[in-house]
């Protein structure tokens, strides 16, 4: 999860570069640059790819969080099973 958070930090660190690039493209469009159609296409590609990247990061983050929750649950179940086997049920009254 730490590695994934590092990736998010990199994405965030480059946010200004994306914003500047998009603003430059919009500026060129406003001035009716001769490559207007290509600029429009590239701006669309840039925004789509960035959105896809962020969506993939968020999907992976949720998957990692779920995996971490499952791991924690598994550890709790193991501890509970060992406690029950040892007759230590006073901490878990639901265990027969």
- DSSP class per residue in 43-82: HHHHHHHHHHHHHHHHHHHHHHHHHHHHHHHHHHHHHHHH
pLDDT at 85: 66
Residue 30 sits at φ, ψ, to 5 deg, of -65, -30
- Name the pLDDT band for 96 (thresholds 50, 70, 90): very low
What pLDDT is stored for residue 95 in this prediction?
Answer: 44
Distance CA 92, CA 96 (A): 9
- pLDDT at residue 80 in the model: 78
Q: Is the pLDDT of residue 93 over 60?
A: no
Domains and CATH numbers, the chain: 2-85 (1.20.58.60)
DSSP label of 34: T
What are the pLDDT digits (tens) for 8-64? 999 999 999 999 999 999 999 999 999 999 999 999 999 999 999 999 999 999 999
What is the pTM (predicted TM-score) of this model?
0.71
Mean pLDDT value of segment 76-88 = 74
Contacts of 91 (CB under 8 A, 6+ apart): 83
Query: Residue 16 in contact with residue 5, Cβ under 8 Å?
Result: no
């Amino acid at each position: 999860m730490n590695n994934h958070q590092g990736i998010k930090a990199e994405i965030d660190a480059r946010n200004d570069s994306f914003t500047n690039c998009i603003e430059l493209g919009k500026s060129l469009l406003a001035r009716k640059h001769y490559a207007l159609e290509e600029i429009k296409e590239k701006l669309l590609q840039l925004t789509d790819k960035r959105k896809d990247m962020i969506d993939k990061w968020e999907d992976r983050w949720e998957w990692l969080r779920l995996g971490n929750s499952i791991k924690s649950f598994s550890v709790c179940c193991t501890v509970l099973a060992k406690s029950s086997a040892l007759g230590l049920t006073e901490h878990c009254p639901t265990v027969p």
